[in-house]
Every structure is written in structure tokens, then in C-alpha cells.
Amino acid sequence: MVRRVGRQLVCIPTYNEASNILPLIEQVHEAAPDCDVLVIDDASPDGTGDLVRDRMLKDARLEVMARPAKLGLGTAYMAGFAFGLLHGYTGLLTMDSDFSHPPDRIPALIAAVDAGAHLAVGSRYVSGGAIQGWAPSRRVLSATANIVARQLLQLRTHDCTGGFRCYSLRALQFLVTRPLRSSGYSALIELLARCERAGLTIVEIPITFTDRTRGRSKISRQEILRAMLTVFRLTGRGS
């Protein structure tokens, strides 16, 4: 088995992202040539996984985890964490595959972890952070979900719902000790809450989040409401 000590792994969960995934992998490698990329694909009917498998023949820095069905974001992240630890990576980034998370900010996230943070969060809700392209209704719904989660779980981090993050080895080792209660979108909130409650050092790096221009969102309004219900269930829990 190839050991990846000292390297970072960029984990990208995908479901029907055929129009985005190859250009994204290219931009990730332009921004961070030393990183490997793991695509965690949930049997996308549009062939996203096949596109990645073809590209792997030409790119030794690329790997795909093919899961049998749409199993949700939370389990995709946990599977990525386990893969990263198994292969000896020193740190792990997560990002969406729809270009909402700017690949050119990957080095800033890694630098924050190299400087001692256990978790670096790409943040829309700190000075210098921004959101582009969302309709006002989407902006308000997402900001409200973020504020509700933050208040209910008494989190210090300003952006609790974003998936552009860099986890240190210590954070990964801590997070895999217990399965998540959330399977979907609320996994991001649960992972963050666990890190905060464990006293890990978290820094926020401002990012400009841009709405997808290709492919369709998988996060419906119902999914946001379901995530809020999970957050209610998480209140009062120790970690």
C-alpha cells in the first residue's frame, strides 16, 4: 500500500456532478499540486464516477471511492476520513464539487492547519467572506439555518454549515472514534460541534462562496429543514 505521510488528501463527495468534476479536479491540482484527490461518488446515474475512473488512468494523484447508492454527505465524509487515516495522510480537506468552494483557497486552509489549527473552516460569514449568485430567498434561508444551528449548539465558529474545510490529523483521529448521528447536510454542523466541544483549535479563513452554474443542487428546502431537526436532536448532547 502506498503511504501518504506528509501529504494532504482533498475529499470531494459527488452525486450527479458530471459537468463539474473533471474541471474541478484540474483546478484543485493547479492550486495544490502536492495534494491527492479522493472523489466519493454515490453511484451517480450521470456517470460522474466513470469520468473519474477514466481520468485516474492518467493521474496518479486521483482516487475514486465508488459507493453503491446515495448514502448522504455525512457518511461520505466519514468514509473519506477513514480512507485518509488508513493511507497515512497528514491532513484532509473537504469541498463541494460544484465550484462553490474556490480551489485557490486550498493553500490558505492548509497553511492554517500547518500553523497549528486543528480545523480550518472556509468561511462566508467572517470579514472578507462573501456569497455570490444566491437568490435573496436562498441567502436568507441558509443564513438563518446557520444562525439557528450556531445559537442552539452554542458554537463560536461563524460558518457552521459550509463544507470547505481542512482537518488536521488530530481532528480526524478524534472524529472517527464515533459514528455521526447525522447522515445528510447536518453532518457538517455535527462535525464542527464535536471539534469545538473537544477543545480543538478552529480558525476561519474567509472565502467567497459562488453558487453553482452547472448541475443541480442536491440540497432541497426539505433537506435544510431535516438538518434543522437533527440540530434540535443534537442540542444538549455532550459532544
Ligand X SMILES: Nc1nc2c(ncn2[C@@H]2O[C@H](COP(=O)(O)OP(=O)(O)OP(=O)(O)O)[C@@H](O)[C@H]2O)c(=O)[nH]1
Site for ligand X contains 72 (CB under 6 A): yes
Interaction between residue 187 and ligand X (CB under 6 A):
no
Output the CA angle 222-227-233, nearest 5 degrees: 130
Q: How far apart are CA 35 and CA 3, in angstroms?
A: 13
73 binds ligand X (CB under 6 A): yes
100 vs 123, beta carbon nearer ligand X: 100
Site for ligand X (CB under 6 A): which residue of 8, 17, 99, 129? 17
| Three cell numbers written together for 114 | 500547518
d(CA 129, CA 239) in angstroms, rounded, equals: 28
The distance from CA 18 to its chain's CA centroid, rounded to whole angstroms, is 18
Interacting positions 21-40 with ligand X (CB under 6 A): 40
- Between 72 and 91, CB nearer to ligand X: 72
Q: Measuring CA to CA, which residue among 209, 202, 31 is closest to residue 129? A: 209
Angle between helices 48-56 and 21-31 (to 10 degrees): 40
- Judged by CB under 5 A, the stretch of 91-99, 124-132, 146-154, 179-187 that binds Mg ion is 91-99
Phi, psi of 197 (to 5 degrees): -70, -25
Which of 36, 63, 98, 190 is in the footprint of ligand X by CB under 6 A? 98
* 97 near ligand X, rule: CB under 6 A: yes
Q: Going residue by residue from 198 to 217, which x/- string records binding to ligand X, judged by CB under 6 A? A: -------------xx----x
Based on the shown chain and the rule CB under 6 A, indicate whether residue 139 belongs to the binding site for ligand X. Answer: no
Query: CB 15: neighbour CB atoms within 10 A?
Result: 22
Partner that binds at residue 97, options Mg ion, ligand X, none, CB closer than 5 to 8 Å by kind:
ligand X
